[in-house]
Chains A and B, each alone.
Chain A
Amino acid sequence: MQAYSLDQPERLRAHLALQHHVYEVRGDGQGGQHWELVSARDFTAFEPAAEPPPFSAKSFFFAERELLFRFDGGQFYSTLPAVEPQVLFGLHACDLQAVAYQDRFFAEDPHYQARRQATLLVGVDCLHSCEGGFCSIVGSGPAVREQRADLILVPRQDHATDWLLLVASEAGHAALRGLRLPEATADWQAERSANQVCVAEEQGPQQEIVDGIVSLNAGKIDAETWEALGLRCLGCSGCTTECPTCSCYAPQDRLNAPASMQRERVWDSCLYQGFQQEASGHNPSATPGQRVQRFWSHKFGDGFKAQFEAYGCVGCGRCDRVCPGGIGVHGVMQRVVHHD
């Protein structure tokens, strides 16, 4: 990778904003963080979020409401989203790993790909672990992997020093055209490795996660344990909504006028009782425990890992924060290991 020294990430952001819609996560001053459109004239300091925002990059590509087609009574008309070139600025390694996971899952989905192919990804390495993260355990971070982003920002332990900018793709290289940057002189590989060690130490051994994955794949978790967890699942859909790799959806048909209609797809959740229920009433995953088991097996099961060459969990910890029943990833793994 080519490495540059970057005095101000805001300069890069403004440069990209000349040709793209640039989105960045900003705090709302009340404890919330949201993706916001940033203009080329916006020089607000770039501060990578210390905690993952509730929404990852997922909704930019796998839209929460996506129009699929219209029907006018006689013909069906496909619709594809018209997406202006856009930049997601400042994505953490965990969320970029999730984008890669979904790129693979939705490789043949025209709606996803239309949005994805219009997007340049600018990643940022983490110097410190977020509160509930465990990227070092599932191998998704804290350093952005080369194939996961187009450009990678590396902050420095010494805040007074310039940032590093790594060029990770052809598109990233092309996007820098017109921006003059000096080549980096620092030993950035060594710095990144040191950062990784630091974050891994902060995250600790996370033994319950490591042991929980083993138990889950060894089939050591009995149905009673899953049902006990299921009793704590309110079926809110918060985990599947915020999970950056969750991808289930449902169709929603709407009659517009007599004989004309449109179909949208909307995010769905495998934790709903009705998710698999058939018209006959038969339900292959009738109990909450079965559904909770399904969710976690999808994230940590060896069978899925073999298909995707990665866990479905990127270690961001959003499920822990959003679950009212206390059965996010740490909650589940602690109970699973404890019961074992």
Chain B
Amino acid sequence: MIDLTPRKLLLLDHYADGEEARHFSLRIDKPLAGDLAVIPGQFFMLTVPGFGEAPFTYLSLPDQQGRFNALVRRMGALTQGLFEQPVGAVLGYRGPFGKGWPLFFCAHRVLVVAGGCGLVPLAGVIDEASQHRLPLQLSVIYGARHSAAQVLGRERERWRQTLRFMETCDEAKPLERQGSPLDHFDELFAAEAPEAVLCCGPEALMLATAEASLQRGIAAHKIWLSLERRMHCADGLCGHCYLGTEYVCKDGPTYRYDRYLQVRGAGYPTATKQDQRLC
């Protein structure tokens, strides 16, 4: 049986990290064995008493004491409520949920494409690779609206030392790289063509990234993305995160691109104008 009741989670600390965003340190009270088996890209459900419950991804994975980090951007009532909680506040925790990023796949050179807060779900993978725990050669391109909107300042500082980390802004200042991550694909692919792509960000950016990668010869089964959806139960019951015949909370949130296309179409095929012409 599933359990829809949260467990106790303590707010240990926080600091500002990007525009309207905060870096939170949290601790699961009395962690269980399963709490230590989190894979980067999975998510947890955070209850802010009185404000509701919402999914967030792990920025760092829980340690033996149940401590982990998360990055939260102020968006609506729940995140506003979280920002008002004092250090030491009791919050609610359920997790981990969903499928994380693939950590072992037949590729060595991997390109990570992140947009905005989409860098957060990828942080675990980047961390693992930068500490050489994964046999990956990682390149990262991170796009944001402008430099003030960039998140994970301390982590980026660290990553820049150990791997190829490229940053670009829609509204760039002098000396900053300008444009969307896609604008730099030619350069990235010319340097050393990746064999696989991991992508997280606004859905439009992810789909464009996938298409641009396909065009450059990367097979659909070597492209991964992570979907954001409204999630309430995280157990595939409440219905909100449907994608075709699946629920993103269980089947995702990470999807191999070919699988994503298949699932999205499986629920409800629609005729397009083009199909009709063919008939």
Chain A positions 273 through 301: 1 when the CB is less than 8 Å from some CB of chain B, otherwise 0: 00111111010100000000110111001
Contacts of A221 in B (CB 8 A): 270-271
Q: Does A307 sit at the interface, judged by CB under 8 A?
A: yes
Given A108-B235, A278-B228, A307-B245, A113-B1 contact (CB < 8 Å): yes
- Interface flags for A57-92 (1: CB within 8 Å of B; 0: not) read 000000000001101011111100000000000000
How far does the alpha carbon of A294 sit from the alpha carbon of B270 in the complex, in Å?
11
Interface residues on A, range: 35 or more
Q: Is A265 an interface residue (CB 8 A)?
A: yes
CB neighbours (8 Å) of A71 from chain B are 6, 47, 49, 92
A253–B273 alpha-carbon span in the complex (Å) = 44
Contact of A255 among B5, B49, B90, B202 (CB under 8 A): B49
The residue in chain B whose Cβ has the minimal distance to the Cβ of A246 is B239
Instruction: Establish whether residues B272 and A223, one from each chain, have CB atoms under 8 Å apart when the complex forms.
Output: yes
- Within residues 231 to 280 of chain A, which ones have a CB less than 8 A from any CB in chain B? 247-251, 253, 255, 259-261, 263, 265, 268, 270, 275-280
- On whether A294 and B242 interact (CB within 8 A), knowing A251-B53, A280-B228, the answer reads yes
When the two chains form their complex, are residues A284 and B229 in contact, meaning their CB atoms are under 8 A apart? yes
Nearest Cβ on chain B to A106's Cβ, whole angstroms: 7
Which of A105, A109, A111, A293 sits near B268, CB closer than 8 Å?
A: A293
Which residues on A sit within 8 Å (CB–CB) of B229? 276, 278, 284
Q: Given that A253-B52, A255-B50 are known contacts, is A78 also in contact with B3, CB under 8 Å in the complex?
A: yes
Decide: A69 near B5, CB < 8 A? Known: A280-B75, A303-B266: yes
Cβ of B170 within 8 Å of any chain A Cβ, yes or no, is: no
- B90 contacts A74, C-beta separation under 8 Å: yes
Give the residue name and chain of the B residue nearest to A300 (CB).
B268
Give the A-B contact count at a CB cut-off of 8 A. Answer: 143
| Interface SS, B side | loop
Contacts of A109 in B (CB 8 A): 1-2, 235, 237
Cβ–Cβ < 8 Å partners of A275 in chain B: 230, 239-240
Q: Does B129 contact A (CB under 8 A)?
A: no
Do B3 and A279 touch across chains, with their CB atoms under 8 A apart?
no
Q: Is B4 an interface residue (CB 8 A)?
A: yes
A279 x B2 contact (CB < 8 A): no
Residue with the greatest number of chain B CB neighbours at <10 A, chosen from A78, A263, A268: A263
Residues of B within 8 A of A134 (CB): none
* B51 touches A (CB below 8 Å): yes
B76 — nearest CB in chain A belongs to which residue? A279
B215 interfacial by beta-carbon distance below 8 Å: no
Q: A278-B229, A282-B203, A297-B267 are in contact. Are A77 and B5 (CB under 8 A)?
A: yes
**Is the CB of A226 closer than 8 A to any CB of chain B?**
yes
Minimum distance in angstroms from B245 CB to a CB of chain A: 4
Do residues A270 and B230 form an inter-chain contact, with CB atoms below 8 A?
A: no
Q: Which residue of B lies closest to A284 (CB)?
A: B229
Report B-chain residues with C-beta under 8 Å of the C-beta of A78: 3-5
Nearest-CB distance from A299 to chain B (Å)?
Answer: 11
A261–B50 contact, CB under 8 A?
Answer: yes
**Chain B residues within 8 Å of A218, by CB:** 269
Judging by beta carbons under 8 Å apart, are B237 and A301 in contact?
no
Q: Are B245 and A304 in contact (CB under 8 A)?
A: yes
**Chain B: residues with CB nearer than 8 A to chain A?**
1-8, 47, 49-54, 75-76, 78-79, 90, 92, 202-203, 228-230, 232-233, 235, 237-245, 266-273, 275-276, 279
Interfacial residues, chain A to chain B (CB-CB below 8 A):
68-69, 71, 73-78, 105-106, 108-111, 113, 216-223, 226, 247-251, 253, 255, 259-261, 263, 265, 268, 270, 275-280, 282, 284, 293-294, 296-298, 301, 303-304, 307
**Additional pairs, 14, CB under 8 Å, beyond known A71-B6, A278-B230, A294-B267:** A69-B4, A75-B8, A219-B269, A219-B275, A220-B271, A220-B279, A247-B237, A250-B232, A253-B47, A275-B239, A279-B78, A280-B75, A301-B266, A304-B245
Q: Can you pick out 23 interface pairs between chain A and chain B where the beta carbons lie within 8 Å of each other?
A: A69-B4, A69-B6, A71-B6, A76-B92, A108-B1, A108-B235, A109-B235, A110-B3, A219-B271, A220-B271, A221-B270, A222-B273, A250-B232, A268-B240, A275-B240, A276-B242, A280-B75, A282-B228, A294-B267, A296-B268, A297-B267, A301-B268, A303-B245
